[in-house]
Amino acid sequence: MRTLDDLIKVGVRGRRVLVRSDLNVPLSKHDTPTVTDDGRIRASLPVLVRLLEAGARVIVTAHLGRPKGAPEDKYSLRPVADRLAQLLGRPVQFALDTVGESARLMADGLSDGELLLLENVRFNPGETSKNDAERAEFATALALLTGGEEDGGAYVDDAFGAVHRAHASVYDVAKLLPHYCGDLVRDELAVLQRLTGEAGDVERPYVVVLGGSKVSDKLAVIEALLPKVDRLLVGGGMCFTFLKSQGYEVGKSLLEADQVDTCARLLAESGDKIVLPSDVVVAPEFSADAPVLTVPVSQMPADQLGLDIGPDSVAAFARVLHEATTVFWNGPMGVFELAPFAAGTKGVAEAVTGARGLTVVGGGDSAAAVRALGIDENLFGHISTGGGASLEYLEGKTLPGVAVLSES
């Protein structure tokens, strides 16, 4: 797999380089939206800066949200362009379309060391189309913004959060231009290889912490990791399906009835590895103002809703994490966005920072929680920018955006 080092070594001055970045960040809901969490933008800066300082004419393509293949104001990358310019400390040009007249004229007008951000790539139906020809047509138009291979065009994929998608800007365009792996994607893969044992034996004890809403979302990674880990700590909404499988009352908590038997099987097969909460924080409704109660899992009221793990569970999880040498955490322990239900996630996050050895935050809501709860990101060994991509890699799936970069 060719890297950004290889591209810069052959020279990029005067060449147009198409970079797929991950700029899918949350925006405020004001009349003039602003970026509320710029973690992914900051993670994208090193590759962009390296290319700009080497004299490349950089064209960035990225997505935001899930528009339906047509422009929607709430998904415009304009606020992202503004924040990117602030962080770069230099102007960022912004095209009003993806491959239309605005994009073509602005790409043609770039000078050495200048950067152009295209409008949300998912505003074009070809980006996510399941029709190979439609996707290839859009990828060709993207590639032509660089002038094509004959004119020195190149492609760099630095969007780890999108490499598990066979989309035009991630997969098809790499087949049309000399392609290179960005530093962010390279580093993400190196960390994941340490977690899977591909980079040598995993240092033990190896502990995985999983949270989030649904067992079904994490089932494949649970099945893949259980044979490899020493302990699997389960929190978040998904814990209630496990607790139900043990015969506990779960009240109005999130429950996947069709996964109860699966959870029972997992506990029967690997119950010595799986650690479930012993107490939970409950309320009658999903509200920051609702009366809150902490109860043992054996005393869950039928009219209450479980919204966080309790302090005894946090302490138990922390004891396991204190002994760990390798930790992977994906998914919050509760509804951390509401203050009464944030303590579980914060407590577990702080315990992860205290583990010796490699500590990995698996992107998505976990990474968002770290920033929202004010925990120093530097206390973790690695914070992934791609929760879905991380999980699929750990499941053993082939990531299309990675596989295509490996092709000559």
Write the pLDDT tens digit of every residue in 91-132: 999 999 999 999 999 999 999 999 999 999 999 999 999 999
Q: How confident is the model at residue 276 (pLDDT cuts 50, 70, 90)?
A: very high
Write the pLDDT tens digit of every residue in 207-236: 999 998 889 989 999 999 999 999 999 999
Cβ-Cβ contacts under 8 Å for 225 (sequence gap 6 or more): 208, 232, 328, 394
Long-range contacts, stretch 202-206, CB < 8 angstroms, 24+ apart: 202/228, 202/326, 203/325, 203/326, 203/357, 203/358, 204/230, 204/325, 204/326, 205/230, 205/231, 205/323, 205/324, 205/325, 205/326, 206/230, 206/231, 206/324, 206/325, 206/326, 206/327
Task: Write down the residue that tokens 């415009």 correspond to.
Answer: 76
Q: Which residue stretches of 162-310 are H helix?
A: 183-196, 215-225, 239-245, 260-270
Backbone angles phi, psi at 89, to 5 degrees: 70, 30
Write the pLDDT tens digit of every residue in 37-91: 999 999 999 999 999 999 999 999 999 999 999 999 999 999 999 999 999 999 9
What DSSP string runs through 303-338? T-EEEEE-HHHHHHHHHHHHT-SEEEEES-SS-TTS
The response to whether 197 counts as a known ligand-binding position is no
The response to whether 243 counts as a known ligand-binding position is no
Backbone angles phi, psi at 322, to 5 degrees: -60, -30
Cα-based distances in Å from 249 to 22, 170, 296, 312, 393: 42, 45, 11, 19, 35
* pLDDT for the residue 211: 95
The alpha carbon dihedral of 157, 160, 163, 169 has a sign of: negative
Task: State both tokens at 154.
Answer: 């190149």
* pLDDT for the residue 150: 94
Report the C-alpha gap between 74 and 248 in whole angstroms.
43
The response to whether 363 counts as a known ligand-binding position is yes
* pLDDT for the residue 408: 79
The response to whether 65 counts as a known ligand-binding position is yes
The response to whether 132 counts as a known ligand-binding position is no
Task: State both tokens at 184.
Answer: 């962010």
SS3 132: helix
The response to whether 218 counts as a known ligand-binding position is yes
* pLDDT for the residue 364: 80
* pLDDT for the residue 147: 97
Instruction: Answer yes or no: are the C-beta atoms of 235 and 207 closer than 8 Å.
Output: no
The answer for 171, left when phi > 0, alpha when psi is -120 to 50, beta otherwise, is alpha
Report the C-alpha gap between 257 and 105 in whole angstroms.
55
* pLDDT for the residue 387: 86
| Residue-wise burial string across 320-339, b where 16 or more C-beta atoms lie within 10 A, e elsewhere | bbeebbbbbbbbbbbbbebe
Question: Residue 257: pLDDT above 80?
Answer: yes
Residue 155 carries which side chain, given as an amino acid letter? Y
CB atoms within 10 A of CB 119: 25
Write the pLDDT tens digit of every residue in 284-325: 999 999 999 999 999 999 999 999 999 999 999 999 999 999
* pLDDT for the residue 30: 84
The answer for 136, left when phi > 0, alpha when psi is -120 to 50, beta otherwise, is alpha
Active site residues: 40, 214, 364, 388
What DSSP string runs through 47-93? HHHHHHHTT-EEEEE---S---SS--GGG-SHHHHHHHHHHHTS--E
Write the pLDDT tens digit of every residue in 198-212: 888 899 999 999 998
Q: Determine the average pLDDT of the residues in 154-160.
A: 98
Q: How confident is the model at residue 4 (pLDDT cuts 50, 70, 90)?
A: very high
State the chain's mean pLDDT as an integer.
Answer: 96
